[in-house]
Each structure stands twice: as structure tokens, then as C-alpha cells.
Amino acid sequence: MTAANGADTTVVVLGSSSGVPTATRGNAAQVLRRLGKTYLVDCGEPVTQALLRAGIDPLGLTAVFLTHLHIDHLGGLPQLVQTLQIRGRTQPLPVYLPAEGLTPLAAFLEMVYLSPDLLPFPLRLIGNGPGELYADGVVRVLAHRNDHLQALRGRAGDVAVKHPGWALESRSLVVEAGEERIVFSGDLRGPEELTPLLAEATALVCELVHFAPAALYPILERGPRLRDVILTHFHPNVEGRAEEIMAEARRRLPEGARVHWAADGLAVPLAGAVASQLPLMV
């Protein structure tokens, strides 16, 4: 990897809160920018405002990928679609989501008057399972099933019985971008689910809400090529522990690897370039 290559690939954290927003953190959303294209991973509210605050024009979005259907990961999508409608987007926008959500999401958008008949652009809702989701010559996106939503089984009875329409689909994403291989954890049941994804990974964007940081540390040792780890989606009990957690994470990573504690607007150019906090408009 070279710094020049890294300058072509940047991760921007748009929302870093856990299941509820805070005064300073919105819900889960990240952007990957590479070679003039912009890919949105998760769409928690207020993602449209967060894009604008980060200096990213929503009209320029290339594709959207949802890791799962919890509201803190997709609640901003209807407003994003309405913004693109009002601003007159004409280019198609593909939105990749777990297949179980395809029909309900289309019905919801219909209910809030975002029918395909009223949109000036083709909104392509694409339901899929694990495997390759997308490739355009700039990035290739692969989905790997995880067990985050399986924790719902047995809660107040077996949801598979009470809700036969729930497939409980959740996934982590691997994005191949030039020399970079970026893992977006999505939400996990436990960090060990990342192990098969880290062998070739150069960057990891990882949640810290569904397990203790101590459970993540040994997993990081299984990423021999990791150069950047971005910690985000914080449980309230880790706030105030940034230096402690980052120091221990660095100890487990290859020499020179960087650990970033996300804030909304954090921009991380990959491959050793300098991270920055994008200025937020007030």
C-alpha cells in the first residue's frame, strides 16, 4: 500500500451512536469514498443532514448498502429518498438490503408517498443474501452473514414462530477497493464472527455496542494486514474510555497500525494518510 493509493480511499463516519442518537452522535452510517464515487453503508437518521455536514452531496451517492433492518441502521432512508426526489436526482440509485425487507420497505415508501411513480430517478431496491452484492470496477462488495439478529430467538417466545416473516438476516460487509480490503462489521452477536474476514483485511470499521471491548482485542490479532481500525457505534458504558481502549487495541495490532475513535464527521483516508475531523456546519 502507498499513501497515494490511500488518498483515493476514505471512510467517513456519519453516525456513531448506538441504538439511540445522542446530542453529539447520530445513528449508524458510514461512507466509503473512492475515485469520485460515494458508497453509503447503513442509513441511520439523520443521514441526509450528516452527509451535508460532511460536505458530501447526497445527489452524488453511487449505491447504498444496509447491513440489517434495525431502525438505527435504516431510519434515515425515507428522508434521503425524499431529498433526492425534491432535488431532482435522475441517476438510478441501487439500495442493497437483506431480502426479507424488500417487500415491507417498498410498501412503507409507498405509504409515505415516495412511490416509484413520483420519483424522478429509478430507486432500485435489491434484496439479497450473502455473497457478492455489487461490483463496478471501483469497488466490489461482499456480504457475510452474521448472527446479530439470532439473539432475538427465545426473547418473549420464539420470534420465528410468532413472526414467520422474519428471516433475521444480518451481515457484515467486505469492500475490496484497489489495494484496500475494508471490513464493515455491521452489528454482531460477538466479535469472533469477524475472524474469517480479517486475514486479508487492511481496515476494519467495528461496532462497540454488543460486546465488551475486551472481547475484541484478541480478534484484532487475527488481522495481520490491518492498518486502520475505526471504532464506532458505541455503547454508553464505553464513553470516556477512548484512550484505554485504543491503547489496548494498538497493542494487539501490527506495528504502526492506527486506531480511531469515531465521532460524527470523522474522515479517515486509508493506507497511512492523516485522519481528520471534518468541520461541521452550525
CATH number at residue 109: 3.60.15.10
Q: Which pLDDT score, from 0 to 100, does residue 1 have?
A: 29
Q: From the candidates 42, 72, 187, 264, give the one annotated as an active-site residue.
A: 72
pTM comes to 0.93
Q: Which pLDDT score, from 0 to 100, does residue 279 have?
A: 44
Q: Which pLDDT score, from 0 to 100, does residue 6 have?
A: 43
Average pLDDT over residues 136-164: 84
Q: Which domain holds residue 213?
A: 3-277
Does the residue 138 lie in any domain? yes
Q: Which pLDDT score, from 0 to 100, does residue 274 have?
A: 59
Does the residue 217 lie in any domain? yes
Residue 72 is among the residues annotated as catalytic for this protein: yes
Q: What angle do CA 94, 231, 179 make, to 5 degrees?
A: 60
Does the residue 102 lie in any domain? yes
pLDDT digits (tens, 9 = 90+) for 88-147: 999 999 999 999 999 999 999 999 999 999 999 999 999 998 999 999 999 999 999 999
Q: Which pLDDT score, from 0 to 100, does residue 5 have?
A: 43
CB 40 within 8 A of CB 29: yes
List CB contacts of 113: < 8 A, sequence separation 6 or more.
none
Average pLDDT over residues 160-185: 91
Does the residue 54 lie in any domain? yes
Average pLDDT over residues 209-215: 97
Does the residue 109 lie in any domain? yes
Average pLDDT over residues 10-15: 98
Q: Which pLDDT score, from 0 to 100, does residue 271 have?
A: 77
> Any alpha helices (H) in the chain, and if so which ranges?
3-7, 47-53, 71-74, 77-86, 102-111, 159-162, 195-198, 213-220, 242-252
pLDDT beyond 80 at 179: yes
Per cent of the chain over pLDDT 90 is: 85
Number of domains in the chain: 1
Per cent of the chain over pLDDT 70 is: 91
CA-CA distance, 96 to 102, in Å (whole number)?
A: 9
Q: What angle do CA 249, 254, 258 make, to 5 degrees?
A: 55
Q: Which pLDDT score, from 0 to 100, does residue 55 have?
A: 97
CA-CA distance, 203 to 183, in Å (whole number)?
A: 6
Q: Phi/psi at 184 (nearest 5 deg)?
A: -105, 115
Does the residue 282 lie in any domain? no
Q: Which pLDDT score, from 0 to 100, does residue 162 have?
A: 77
- pLDDT averaged over every residue in the chain: 92
Q: Which pLDDT score, from 0 to 100, does residue 2 have?
A: 33
